[in-house]
């Protein structure tokens, strides 16, 4: 392995540790009370290392949110198998998504609640993430097949928004450990919206 590759691996490891440190620090103290000192302590890296990767703690939280969204989309993509029946695809995708969320309750609160502590910047990053999920839904549901009534972007966003609200409600009720149970109402919602599409 060349020195450049080793340096890249170290940089990648430091960035990942900082993202994990952000998640833990915010879960413990909330975004507003979290300091860069908290993040670097959780990550076991120096303050200098933090500033090599991020300008502000807001940048770090946004990077964490975007990384988690990419991970969630990857889980959804892996769960989709076009060879399977449509209902099975929906059930597998929703089951996989909620199982993924349930694996990391600390991260769920950070991503669904604390991101809003950034104000307009947090709303913008959340909107971009929701739009990526909507684009994925439209591709899977409408993709290339003739439909009598293709799913619209507005209805897909309504589904994403509804699922987000179910997760927020679970967080507020301290039921993040039960997130897998949300798969059933999420599946019912998506099936109702796509009844004329499939």
Predicted confidence at residue 142, as pLDDT, reads 82
Taking the chain (198 residues) in runs of 10, the rounded mean pLDDT of each run is 41 88 90 95 95 96 92 89 79 89 83 88 94 90 70 93 94 88 92 74
Domains for the chain: give ranges and CATH numbers: 1-54 (1.10.10), 57-193 (1.10.357.10)
Provide the CA 34 distance to its chain's centre, in angstroms.
21
For the whole model, what pTM was predicted? Answer: 0.83
């Amino acid at each position: 392995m060349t020195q450049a590759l080793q340096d890249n691996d170290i940089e990648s490891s430091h960035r990942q540790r900082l993202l994990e440190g952000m998640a833990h620090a915010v879960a413990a103290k909330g975004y507003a009370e979290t300091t860069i000192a908290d993040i670097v302590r959780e990550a076991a890296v120096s303050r200098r290392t933090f500033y090599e990767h991020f300008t502000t703690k807001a940048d770090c939280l946004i990077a964490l949110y975007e990384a988690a969204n990419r991970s969630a989309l990857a889980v959804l993509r892996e769960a989709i198998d076009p060879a399977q029946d449509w209902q099975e695809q929906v059930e597998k995708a929703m089951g996989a998504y909620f199982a993924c969320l349930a694996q990391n309750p600390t991260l769920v609160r950070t991503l669904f609640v604390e991101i809003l502590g950034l104000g307009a910047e947090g709303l913008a990053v959340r909107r971009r993430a929701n739009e990526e999920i909507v684009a994925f839904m439209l591709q899977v549901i409408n993709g290339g097949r003739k439909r009598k009534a293709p799913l619209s972007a507005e209805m897909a966003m309504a589904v994403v928004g509804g699922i987000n609200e179910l997760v927020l409600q679970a967080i507020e009720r301290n039921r993040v450990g039960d997130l897998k149970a949300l798969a059933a109402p999420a599946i019912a919602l998506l099936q109702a919206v796509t009844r004329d599409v499939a």
